[in-house]
Amino acid sequence: MSSDGEDTKQQLIAHAVRLMADGGIFRLTNREIIEAAGQRNASAVSYHFGSRSDLLDAIIDQFEEGLDAHRESLAPNCNEETPTGVLIDALVFSYGTYLETTEGRSYVKVIDQLRAETPEPEREMESNAYLRRILEVLGKRPAELDPLLRYERLKAMTLLLTSAVANRARAVDAGKPQGLTDAEFLASLSDMLTAMIEAPIIGRKHP
């Protein structure tokens, strides 16, 4: 693809992420993206990406480039002996880097919308090998818990991670004062997610 074509793709991605973050993935039209990007070709999105799903895949690929390597640097040699807190830290603090930029904050808002539609953690496991490895290890904890319940905990953990970071991104972009620094917020979130995975079985009977 020519440099002009690649530039056009980058403009479309940048404006699509910004508009999707605030206007909603499923309400936004291709025409709105094209106009925001200053493109004259009414079929620019279809030409460069194909379907809306293909555009979302391109957005994810671009923003997540290098994220798996960051996870691995935070929790090297992930295995059955790696403490849960270390693995959760790798997930939280790598994802939390998106809070540092306007573009990153827009991206986590988009992911939060996607997560609401597809909460299963397999969505991320498909394309990120080290993330898959971390989630596979976490999915076996606690060992004494029924596998279906472990899966529900893993799903809830990933939902809380993406929604909590997205909510902070919205608050930051709205100019609301934050009582905690990003580092403090992420450390607290990591502690909560670790507790979610490791919560003991107390044998409470439910109605």
3-state helix, strand, coil in the chain (%, to 5): 70, 0, 30
198 contacts: CB under 8 Å, gap ≥ 6: 84, 141, 142
CA distance 149 to 136: 14
84 contacts: CB under 8 Å, gap ≥ 6: 138, 141, 194, 197, 198
- Evaluate whether 121 touches 133 at the Cβ level (below 8 Å): no
Q: Please compute Rg for the chain using Cα positions.
A: 19
Q: How many helices (H) and strands (E) does the chain have?
A: 11, 0
Q: What pLDDT score was predicted for residue 127?
A: 63
CATH 1.10.10 fits 3-61, yes or no: yes
Q: CB-based burial of residue 77 (10 Å sphere; 0-12 exposed, 13-18 middle, 19+ buried)?
A: exposed
Q: What pLDDT score was predicted for residue 12?
A: 95
Q: What pLDDT score was predicted for residue 115?
A: 82
Sign of CA dihedral 36, 99, 193, 123: positive
Q: pTM to 2 decimals?
A: 0.90
Q: What pLDDT score was predicted for residue 118?
A: 66
The pLDDT profile of the chain, 207 residues, written as one tens digit per residue, is: 556 678 899 999 999 999 999 878 888 999 999 999 998 888 889 999 998 889 998 999 999 999 999 999 999 999 999 999 999 999 999 999 999 999 999 999 999 998 877 655 555 555 689 999 999 999 999 999 999 999 999 999 999 999 999 999 999 999 999 999 999 999 999 999 999 999 988 766 656
Q: What pLDDT score was predicted for residue 128?
A: 86
Q: Return the domain boundaries, the chain.
A: 3-61, 66-198
